[in-house]
Structures are given as C-alpha cells and as structure tokens.
Chain A
Amino acid sequence: MKIKDVVLFCVRSLAGYPLRTGLMLLAMAIGVAAVVLLTSLGEGARRYVTDQFSSLGTHLLIVLPGRSETVGGPPPLLGQTPRDLTLSDAMSLKSSSAIHHVAPLMVGAAPVGHGHLIREVIVLGSTAELYIVRGLTMAQGRFIPTGDVNRAEALCVLGYKLKSELFGSDSPLGQFVRIADRRYRVVGVLSKKGQSLGFDMSDVAIIPVASASALFNRSSLFRIMVQASGREAIPKAKAAILKIIRERHDDEDDVTVITQDALLATFDRIFKSLTLAVAGIASISLAVAGILIMNVMLIAVSQRTAEVGLLKAVGTPGRQIQRLFLSEAAMLSLIGAGAGLLLAMGGKMVLIRIFPAFPVTIPYWAPAAAVGLALVSGLIFGVLPARRAARLDPVAALSRR
C-alpha cells in the first residue's frame, strides 16, 4: 500500500468519528503544550538567574566578612565575632599576581540633594577599579579617578535615574550635590544599566571609599570585589585571598570568598535539573494522552469490527492491518502535537504579556522532545488496539452486521 494511500485512509477514518478524534487531539495537544510551556518556564528562570550573575562582571570573586562554612567546627564562641574587612585588607590583595583588580565596597544610605531636591539613595564608596570590575559604562563624564585610595576627595558619580531626578536634562558635570551634610562635585553619570544582585545601579551615588568612610564614620567594608587575571586564575586568586587575609587577621579564617563561576555553575545546575524535572512531570500528561488514545482506539476497533473483517476478506494480511491502525495512532499523535505546539506558542505570548521582565524562552530541544514523546506514547499505546484488530477472527467479524 502506498504511503499516500495509508495517510488518506487514516485521515478518512479519523474524520469519520470527529468527536472521538477531537478529544484525542485535545488530550495530546494539552500534553505537548504543557511540556513545552513548563520547560520554557524552567529555562526562563535559569536564564534570569544567570543573567543576573553575569551582569556582575567577569572572573569575579566576592570577599565577605565572616565565615559561612556549613560543615565542621564548633559554633564560634562568644567574642570571636569576625574581624572587619578594612581598606588596607583590600589593598593588600593586589600583591597576588592572580588578581588584577580590587574594588572595595562600602555601602550606606544617605540623602542626596541638589538645590531643593533631595532623594534618599544608596551611597557606594569604592575606587576607580569598581568601574572595571563591575563592567560599568558612563553616560557622561568620567568615573572616580585613580590615585591614592586613602584620600577622601569630595567628588561623586551619579546613577542615571538619580541624575535625571536631581538635574532633569541639565548637565550635572562640575556641579555640586549634597550628600548628608557634605558637598561633592559631580564628575560623571553612569549609563543606563539594569539591576545587578540587588543594587539598582541607576539609583546610586558613588564616592571614593575614603570619603564614604568619613561620611559613615566607619572603617569596615561591606565586601571586596576582586577580578582575577583570568578564568583559570580564579582558584589561585581565591587561595591567595584566603592566605593574605589569614596572615593579616592573626591566622584566623574569617572571610568567605564566593566565586562567580561557582555560583553560576550551581544555579545553572539547579535550574537545569528543575527544568528537566518539570518536563518529566509534564510528560506524564503525554502518557495519559497515550492511554486515552489506547482506550479510544480499542473502542474504534470494536466499532469497526466489520470493516476489519472486510479488510481481511479482501486479502489484507494481519500485519498490514496492524500497520494501518498504528499509522492512525501516529497521525493522531502528530496532529495533536502540532496543535500542542501552536497552543504553547500562544501560551508563551500570554506569559510574556503577564511577566514582561521574565525571559520566557522555549529551549530548542523542548518542542522536538515533546513531539517525539507524543509520537512514542501514541505508538506504544496504539500497539494493543492495532494487534487486537490484526488478530480479529474475520468470520466472526463479518457474521455480525
């Protein structure tokens, strides 16, 4: 029998029972759409988190005060609170060849004003190297100049949004802003850059770290951001940081070093397995659709007994009859899967409407896997009815009318 004739025969017998066929198509379509949509949600979550971390910059290590190891050791005794991280701790890290840039970070909140406009924002104290480490870009002017990090120069860099709110469309360069009760000269404005790890970089003021120390009257750093000299140098840089800090802190391991890569890899792994798990759960709906196909095909076989008997009488071997019924199941699966992909596409658009910030992306493998699973499920569950048809006794089938 020619393939075109097989297809035609199957289509006509499917079209002969529109309600039954429609229900099976619906089940398949929902299954496929579920697989595709849920995996794309998982993939979207993965991308979202990865993007967040990537926007931190490259080859990044973050040094936090305090140990946060979760294994081994008794709980710290009273009075053993971790030593503060200081600016000189940060600068001493530069001695390692595995470390290219070091940006100390001091964080506080303060009112920032110009004229009669005042806004309460996050004030970051850092050095010129923050620019490189965070991969910042300028909209106007320049960043904090290089030079002696211990000099508390009264100058500042504004985030894009903060600048617009204080200065409108005027150029702020060379003008002064008030931070708390001190005056700072504006030297530059950051370009629009999104959120990264909690800081909205468009809504900050950045001042030299020594100025921040004076402003907030403290010497402890919030964290130190370190850029290793390359991806391969990250482990070396981490070891160097731990060693240098231990020497400076009386042989005490009281800092935590987070590498961006490790963080990224962990999150990547977590979200990949999450996506797969979700896809697995969704594929159960495909198996359910397969079982539905089996049931309905079994009914079809018993309803079409006389037809099967006739096919046998005109000389169709059992194998060919089996193939015809299997083709029918396969076509149901494929058409249902096609409808499911369309459904998923529509669903994706709805999701994008509802969560515009969330990157809903259908991973390239999801549609293929879903269609493949639909086909496999249809075929597996189509075997039983097809075999029943093939084994039907033609005499009994034809004696009924």
Chain B
Amino acid sequence: MIIRLERIERTFQVGDEQVRALRQISLGVQAGEYLSIMGPSGSGKSTLLNILGLLDRPDQGTYWLEERNTTDLNDRQQAEIRRHRIGFIFQFFHLIPRLSAAENVELPLTLAGIDPTLRKQRVDQALDRLGLADRAKHRPDQLSGGQRQRVAIARATIMHPSIILADEPTGNLDRSSGNEVIQVVESLHREGMTVVMVTHDPELGQRARRRVKMMDGLIVEDREG
C-alpha cells in the first residue's frame, strides 16, 4: 500500500469553537490507484489532501507513505518527500507570474539543484507532451486557464513523483478545458501514477475507479468499480 492512514484526527480552533475537520479517518490506497474524493463543502476533503501531501500534520493518528511513518519526520525530511514523491495540482494553478511557462515547469528541478542541460531537456519534453511547446516562453497571464493548468501539471510531474494530489483541478475552468485537464490527469494514472483527486463535479468523480465520499470529517462511502 502506498498510502495508509490510521485514525487520523484534525481539529481547527475557530474562536471558542473546535472544528473537527477530520474524525478518525482510516484509508488505504494501493500504488497506481485512481481515487476521487467528493462531498459537500466543508466536509474535510482539502484538509485530508493536505495531510496526504505532508503540507499539514494530523493532530492524532498515523500516516504511512510508501511504508514509511511520516508522522515524526522533520521539516527537511518532509520537504524531501514532497520534492521527489508527490506532485500537487491546485484549483488556482499557483504559477509564479514573473516566470515563463517553461521556467515555472523548471522550478522544482532548479530548486533541487539539477544540471541546467538536463533541466532543459526534461522541461522541453514535458511541455511537448502536454502540447505546450509553442507556449514555453509565455508568461502565465498570456495563457488560457486550461493552458495554465496544463503548465501546472507539467510542473507537478517534472520530478516523476509516484503520487499526484489534485484539489479541484477543474474548479476554475470551463467544461471543455476541464475535460482536457482531466484527460491529462487520467493519462498520468495510466502511466502508473497514483492519483487522488478532490472534485465537486459528480460526472468527473464517477470516472475514477474508486470513489470516496466524505461528510462532516468522516468517510461515509468508499466504492470501487
């Protein structure tokens, strides 16, 4: 199992009130699975995804990633895992506005200190694959929403991670560019990556082989097939 959550608890303090965003969540995901998470707003989907991506820490419970207990890793070790094993796709793309498409894709390689010639080769390849070769020099504000999300996907996959975490990747796109993006995500799954995708769109959610439904911080449904 690539992901194993055991009785994960996450509580937020809002004023005097305690909001239990995740309650005793236990979940296992096999390597190469395609899993969608659906549920009403505020049910804890994003919180769960952030914990899976090591951007957030659970208050209680244990999280094994690739058979490694992540709960007591320090900042540097967690960053190392994010760098090499996990790719994020966000609803708002989060491209750096002053950098070109190619430079945005290159960023994780640059930060990891990889050789420039190798970097260029890999970036060209990734952009080419996503049909963005002719947009390499464009800045994000010169790209359409769908193109921006594809640049973000190229960035998320440039380090060849084993897990892709997507939080409403089509939430900010019209239907046709949303479909394009979903096809890219599904092609990643076909190449063997584990994909966990949060979505509000039931139609998109249904396309995943495994569908998890959340409500009030609990997993209320977990269907396969």
- Most chain A beta-carbon contacts within 10 A, residue among B46, B53, B90, B159: B90
Say which residue of A15, A312, A319, A398 sits within 8 Å of B90 (CB atoms): A398
Q: Could you mark each residue 53-97 of chain B with 1 if its beta carbon is under 8 Å from any beta carbon of chain A, else 0? A: 101100000000000000000011001111110101010101011
Say which residue of B46, B82, B97, B98 sits within 8 Å of A315 (CB atoms): B82
With contact pairs A312-B55, A316-B79 given, residues A306 and B84 touching in the complex (Cβ less than 8 Å):
no
Instruction: Decide: A1 and B90 in contact? CB cutoff 8 A.
Output: no
Note all chain A residues with C-beta closer than 8 A to B98.
12-13, 15-16
Does A311 touch B at the CB level, under 8 Å?
yes
Interface of A is mostly: helix
Say which residue of A1, A313, A317 sits within 8 Å of B53 (CB atoms): A313
Q: Could you mark each residue 298-327 of chain A with 1 if its beta carbon is under 8 Å from any beta carbon of chain B, else 0? A: 000000001101111111111110000000
With contact pairs A395-B55, A398-B90 given, residues A314 and B111 touching in the complex (Cβ less than 8 Å):
yes
Instruction: Decide: B94 and A1 in contact? CB cutoff 8 A.
Output: no
Q: Could you mark each residue 211-252 of chain A with 1 if its beta carbon is under 8 Å from any beta carbon of chain B, else 0? A: 000000000000000000000000000000000000000000
Instruction: Decide: A318 and B80 in contact? CB cutoff 8 A.
Output: no
Say which residue of B56, B86, B88, B110 sits within 8 Å of A9 (CB atoms): B110
| B contacts with A, residue count (CB < 8 A) | 31
Say which residue of A13, A320, A395, A398 sits within 8 Å of B94 (CB atoms): A398
Does B108 touch A at the CB level, under 8 Å?
yes
- Most chain B beta-carbon contacts within 10 A, residue among A9, A310, A401: A310
Question: A5 to B86, alpha carbons, bound, how many Å?
Answer: 23
Q: How many residue pairs bridge A and B at CB < 8 Å?
A: 72
Closest Cβ neighbor of B103 among chain A residues: A12
Note all chain B residues with C-beta closer than 8 A to A9.
110
Note all chain A residues with C-beta closer than 8 A to B83.
314-316
- Most chain B beta-carbon contacts within 10 A, residue among A5, A9, A15, A306: A5
Question: A15 to B80, alpha carbons, bound, how many Å?
Answer: 29
Question: A328 to B50, alpha carbons, bound, how many Å?
Answer: 29
Note all chain A residues with C-beta closer than 8 A to B88.
313-314
Does A2 touch B at the CB level, under 8 Å?
yes
Say which residue of B46, B94, B108, B116 sits within 8 Å of A309 (CB atoms): B94
Closest Cβ neighbor of A311 among chain B residues: B111
- Most chain A beta-carbon contacts within 10 A, residue among B83, B86, B96, B107: B96
Question: A309 to B88, alpha carbons, bound, how many Å?
Answer: 12
With contact pairs A1-B110, A1-B112, A16-B98 given, residues A314 and B82 touching in the complex (Cβ less than 8 Å):
yes
Note all chain A residues with C-beta closer than 8 A to B159.
314-315
Note all chain B residues with C-beta closer than 8 A to A320.
79, 111
Question: A389 to B83, alpha carbons, bound, how many Å?
Answer: 18
A residues with a Cβ closer than 8 A to B are 1-2, 5, 9, 12-13, 15-16, 306-307, 309-320, 394-395, 398-399, 401
The 7 closest A-B pairs by CB, nearest first: A315-B83, A315-B82, A317-B79, A16-B98, A401-B92, A314-B108, A317-B76
For this complex, 7 residue pairs linking A to B, each with C-beta atoms less than 8 Å apart, are: A311-B111, A315-B108, A317-B76, A318-B76, A395-B55, A395-B56, A401-B92
